[in-house]
Structure 1
Amino acid sequence: MAAYPYFVLFELLAPLLEVAGLITVALGFGFGIISPSLAVLFLLAAFGYAILLSLLALLLDELGLHRYRRLGDLAAVAAAATAGSTTWRRWPRRPSSRTSATANSPPGGGSRGGGRRCATAPPCGAR
């Protein structure tokens, strides 16, 4: 119940505010209020900031946990973080009716990585 105001303010109204912003920017370009060169610089700064935050989060993760043993693995994750900051995360897909909450879970049901961890009463195969 305490989270309901958050969902109304940010999750429900966010698409409406985004569409209003897109219309405002389009009108600004149409009436010559927004400078195209300044808009390109702002767009580059926004994407650069998103990439910087992603790479800094990856750096902190690597400094603290040392997950990646090979430099190639770290480079692949850095490339994915960079691509995720600039491409597909900007345009979310609608979930299909075939997906479930466990579709993105790792094999074995652990929080990270595979392997079975069955120290509790139910057998590993029982759910």
Structure 2
Amino acid sequence: MTNITNKTLSTIAAHRIKDLFDDFCIYVAKRYGASYDDAICDWNCVGATFRYFGRNIHIQLKIWEHSNGHNNLPDYIIIVSDFVTGSGNAQDETEFRALCHFIFERGTRHGFKHLAVETPIVTFTKEVAVPNTLIPCMKFA
């Protein structure tokens, strides 16, 4: 039997997540013509979930200070848990790459160290992949 200790969200992580959410609001406003208030932040004991439901785009990011061993994921992680576009064409990859670029740039700035992707399915090279995770995960450089 494994012993998992639940940790609570630290004050510094809460501030980092708040700052990252502000950046996320600016990102969706500029990229999708949304208003600053169209994005949603739901707090939980390990971090927060960011959501944006726009016209032909749906983004959900889980921002965790602690993974508590879930899916063998490391701490300080951003998880793309939902990414759906209504286009159904090559533009989807462009939008996904833009989101990943935002995550790399802003996530590292706010102290996060890893990216995992639940959907769409991606693979990472051995050089950046975190081993033994149940979903694709990579470490930031």
What's the TM-score once normalised by structure 1's chain length? 0.28
Structure in which a larger fraction of residues adopt strand: 2
Which of 1 and 2 has higher RCO (CA within 8 Å, sep 6+)?
Answer: 2
What's the TM-score once normalised by structure 2's chain length? 0.26
